[in-house]
Chains A and B, each alone.
Chain A
Amino acid sequence: MRKYLIQRFFFGILSLIAATLIVFVLSRAQGDPLLLYAKPGGYGVSPEQIAALEEKLALDRPLIVQYLIWLGRVVRGDMGETLLSERPVSDVIGEKLGATMQLGLLAWIFATLVGVPLGVLSAVKRGSVWDYLGRAFALFGQAAPVFFLGILGILLFGVQLGWLPAGLRPVQDPFWPSQAKALVMPTIALGWLPAAVYLRLTRSAMLEVLDSEYVKLARAKGASGRAVIWRHALRNALIPPITVSALVLVGFLEGSVVVEAVFAWPGIGRMAVESIHNNDFPLLTGIILMFAVLYVVGSFVADVAYTIVDPRIRYDQS
């Protein structure tokens, strides 16, 4: 186990380096980042200021040296300053993180609360209305583009019915009901796909488990139907959904980019797209680093959780 953990850690670091290096190279190929300072109309920065900025950002050095300088600073906990607002990257990310986390967490709760029970239900009552309902829900969730779900929602509940606000979270409003209402549609748009994934995995795992010997034994011993399903069968059927949770997490990060664009949500995803268009590379690299760290940590936790929920799994033998 320890060897496995060390190996995982090492390759996790490698993933982070690969992700940030790609961003570094691409953003530099995009053009001179200092053009951000040159305002339209021909005024803006003097040659002295340019020189000072180049010095500060080490833009006059070879790319790989710039990357190593950046890496050295990050290791010491300094992600640099954004080009646009000249504030520390970590502060800027920290401000927007809350909105994205809120959305991601709610979407995850939605996905779990809808996907898992519906998956159990459609496995237990196989061939019933519930099963077909669940399958339709999953089929739709896996095929509908996130942004289209958002737009349909806005059209139906925002424009036609007027039940829910079509976007922006009014910050000064009280949380209930105004802000809570604004959360409904983004949550569902972001959570539908993972709910579908959970549903399908739970359903197929549940079908398999319900067919196994120990469930039959539990039934033969006279355990009630409900106890067999929820206590005996579900525990093992939850293993596949738990193992994909890391991928679900990445899905949220990528999905948040789209959902935040649709609902004008003031989070990381929208800021990332803005930073790309502004060529604000310190900010963008910081965001990508954060995404990659979350993924690496998430998949690591999922792997470890896997060994805990299913002791049959050992990583050492392979």
Chain B
Amino acid sequence: MTEQTAPDSTSQSEPIDEHSQSTLMASQVIGIQEQTFSHKFWYVLRRWPILPMLVLFVMVIAAVFAPLLSPTGPRDINLRGRAAPPVWQSDWYEANPNNEQTYLLGADHVGRDVLTRMLYGARISLMVAVISLSVGVVIGSAVGLVAGYYGGWIDEFAMRTVDVWNALPFLLIAILAAVTFGQSVSIVMILLALVAWAGGVRNVRAEVLTLKTRDYISLARIAGASDFRIIMRHILPGVVNTIVVLATLRVGGLILAEASLSFLGAGIPAATPTWGNMISEGREWLSTAWWIAVFPGFAILLVVMSVNFFGDWLRDRWDPKLRQL
């Protein structure tokens, strides 16, 4: 039924090779399966989100240790290495002996190392996504909790606000805001937080509505617990799963939104290396130096894919009710 956690049955129906047939009966009776290493390997790989986790882990490490990993800085220019191709196109390096730098993933139009800029770009992109997501999730969850718990006109007001909010064409408003207030990392984070908060309110509220009718909540109230205490100590733990799942499923969208804004020239200031900015810059050299734009694009693709995959997995495990999302 669900997408990632279904393979239990497949590994049992694998064809049996001949020499294990004698032990088959016994092992079937006590429920043990003969598994070769590759069976186990594929089983684990399909059951746990190993690959996405690995990708994300590597990305985070690369972002944190960018200055240690790269010999050059993100803004170090080297005019002898202008538009140097990736290292495997060795004929360029042979034809240009004056350039003594090797570029793993090529260099851009002023000889800045693409890989280095991607590492530094990962810092900005991931930081922006994480911070704006955290702010958005805290606000959104708070609104959902309060709306669901108190009900009545507070609930009505909150839900209608969410409705109106979702109708706003955010990309255009974000561009307008960036032009009005000037481009900066903090403006982008504020804008993305403004986008992020409305997403999960409805689901959190729905959870709260069912939780608050439970007996233990009434008992807590009889015992004299304040509303704040009930929400924080008794209801919040019950909706944390939903919140975490929703948040994970949103990260990818936020990374994409940041990249789109930067690409349109309304996100992170152009001097800062971010993936979106690099693609935007590299677009002009597409026919002569494709690597400037293509590698950052694949970085975005890989990260967002991993995050989405991980989010799907988490949702199936923790909160299958959200499967429609």
Q: Using CB atoms and an 8 Å cutoff, list the residues of chain A in contact with chain B.
A: 11-12, 14-16, 18-19, 22-23, 26-27, 29-30, 127, 135, 139-140, 142-148, 151-152, 154-155, 159, 201, 204, 207-208, 211, 240, 250, 253-254, 257-258, 261-262, 272-273, 276-277, 279, 284, 287-288, 291-292, 295-296, 299
Residue of A nearest to B3 (CB): A135
Q: Does B45 contact A (CB under 8 A)?
A: no
Which chain B residues lie closer than 8 Å to A152 at the CB level? 294, 297
Assuming the contacts A145-B300, A148-B300, asked whether A258 and B264 have C-beta atoms less than 8 A apart, the reply is yes
A142 to B300, CA, bound (A): 11
* Pairs across A and B, CB under 8 Å, 26 listed: A15-B164, A15-B168, A18-B168, A19-B167, A22-B168, A23-B173, A23-B176, A26-B173, A27-B180, A30-B176, A139-B308, A142-B304, A143-B302, A151-B283, A152-B294, A155-B286, A204-B3, A257-B171, A257-B172, A261-B264, A273-B175, A276-B172, A284-B172, A287-B172, A288-B173, A291-B172
Q: Using CB atoms and an 8 Å cutoff, list the residues of chain B in contact with chain A.
A: 1, 3, 10, 160, 163-164, 167-173, 175-177, 179-181, 252, 256, 259-260, 263-264, 266, 276, 279, 283, 286-287, 290, 293-294, 297, 300-302, 304-305, 308-309, 323-324
Which chain A residues lie closer than 8 Å to B260 at the CB level? 145-147, 258
A153 to B264, CA, bound (A): 18
Interface of A is mostly: helix
| Of the residues B3, B10, B180, B297, contact of A30 by C-beta under 8 Å | B180
Residue of A nearest to B263 (CB): A147
A151 to B305, CA, bound (A): 18
Closest 9 CB pairs of A and B: A15-B167, A143-B305, A148-B297, A143-B304, A291-B169, A30-B180, A254-B171, A15-B164, A159-B287
Residue of B nearest to A290 (CB): B169
Minimum CB–CB distance for A261 against chain B, Å = 6
User: Contact: A127 with B10, CB < 8 Å?
Assistant: yes
A159 to B289, CA, bound (A): 11
Which chain B residues lie closer than 8 Å to A127 at the CB level? 10
Minimum CB–CB distance for B299 against chain A, Å = 10
Which chain B residues lie closer than 8 Å to A211 at the CB level? 1
User: Contact: B179 with A276, CB < 8 Å?
Assistant: yes
A27 to B178, CA, bound (A): 11
User: Contact: A14 with B297, CB < 8 Å?
Assistant: no
